[in-house]
Amino acid sequence: MAEDVLTIKNLSVDFKTLEGTVHAIRNVTLKLHPGEVLALVGESGSGKSVTTKTVMQLLPKNAEVVSGSVEYEGRDLLKLPEKELQKLRGNDLAEIFQDPMTALDPTMRVGKQIMEHLLQHQDINKEDAKKKALAIMEKVGIVNAKERFKNFPYQFSGGMRQRIVIAMALICNPKILIADEPTTALDVTIQSQILKLIKQLKDELGTAVIFITHDLGVVAGVADRVAVMYAGRILEFGSVNDIFYYPQHPYTVGLLKSTPTMEMDGGDLESIPGTPPNLINPPAGDPFAYRNRYALKIDFKKLPPFFKVSDTHYAATWLLDKQAPKVHLTDKLDQRRQHYAKLVEKEAHQDD
């Protein structure tokens, strides 16, 4: 396998607040492979966006990187001066945000905004920049690109504005693309189109993607690997098949059981009881222990290590210890497995 395009090692990030120090990210380790989509999944506040903002070095002033490294092409991004980071952002590293209107200047024509992105990062004249801007607009599915080049953001629908943001992010052919819940504000039909577009562009350009979402249903059609985050930690990671067919951590199973499908009845939907822990005083053991019906005594006292399920699949839960009692975590998941299998089959037919 080719060398990892990004390696996050033992990353911990704190936030200073009036209430106290929030331990937002705690000892996170992740690897991003070339040309893959790695999904970061978890509830709001789990640390997904903080992780990627640390990669981009776009943390707020009250944030502090306590420990760890973020390695890209042999360099630790956490130690680079701002001038070097500015050269990387938008060029090698790009990001698509949840709300396209926050990324677009409402007073500037969209074509000029895409061109400016290119002119800022590459040695290119305005004529060639315009040609590339038109080409990327067409590639992301903006019909009549030449005519729409002079339009303002308000003249586009939400889905089209998101396509413009994607065009801006991809125009410099970045090696890493971060997509921070890029479909949350869109309706289901447009969401499907944007997900398909990201996957298609990833395949064509070879860009590695970190895809942030709270919705495991979205992950099925777009991701290659999944990392499940909770309370600032990674609890489980593996291939998308590992996570959907053989989830091992009770939190992952809870997320799957609370994800609706088109085939299910309303009564089949389960919720995860309780609320995430206070990260000013995080628990000593498994952070999910207080919401876990299968929690063992050790879960409240000692943080579990990662147990190997397979060469691609690891989970941090004491239930995988040889001395742990056997429980049937995946009961009632058959319907979701069938739904996932249909999504995969549908994607395969679309690719053909």
Q: How far apart are CA 238 and CA 178, in angstroms?
A: 19
Q: Above 80 in pLDDT, residue 266?
A: no
* Residue-range domains of the chain with CATH: 1-92+174-352 (3.40.50.300), 101-173 (no CATH)
| Averaged pLDDT for residues 207-211 | 94
Three-state SS for 65?
strand
| Averaged pLDDT for residues 73-80 | 94
Residue 254 near residue 298 (C-beta atoms within 8 A): no
* More confident of the two residues 331 and 253: 253
Query: Percent of the chain beyond pLDDT 70?
Result: 91
Residue 168, CB-side half-sphere exposure with 13 Å CA sphere? 27
Nearest one of 17, 11, 10 to 280, comparing CA atoms: 17
Q: What is the pLDDT of residues 181-196, one digit of tens each?
A: 887 767 777 778 788 8
Residue 215 near residue 259 (C-beta atoms within 8 A): yes
Tokens of 72: 């890209």
Q: How far apart are CA 6 and CA 26, in angstroms?
A: 18
Query: What's the pLDDT at 323?
Result: 94
How far CA 101 is from CA of 89, 93, 155, 157, 185, in Å, comes to 19, 20, 12, 11, 11
> Phi and psi for 71 in degrees, rounded to 5?
-100, 130
DSSP 89: B
Q: What is the pLDDT of residues 320-329, one digit of tens each?
A: 999 999 988 8
Q: How far apart are CA 330 and CA 335, in angstroms?
A: 11
| Sheet arrangement for strand 176-180 | 93-96, 176-180, 208-213, 37-41, 225-230, 233-239, 313-315, 307-310
Q: Give the residues across from 15 on adjacent strands.
A: 22, 63
pTM of the model: 0.89
Q: Above 70 in pLDDT, residue 339?
A: no
Q: What is the pLDDT of residues 15-71, one digit of tens each?
A: 999 999 999 999 999 999 999 999 999 998 999 999 999 999 999 999 999 999 999
345: pLDDT confidence band, cut at 50, 70 and 90?
low
Query: What's the pLDDT at 106?
Result: 92
Q: Above 90 in pLDDT, residue 264?
A: no
Tokens of 334: 């058959």
Nearest one of 190, 110, 184 to 150, comparing CA atoms: 110
Query: What's the pLDDT at 262?
Result: 54
Q: How far apart are CA 76 and CA 22, in angstroms?
A: 24
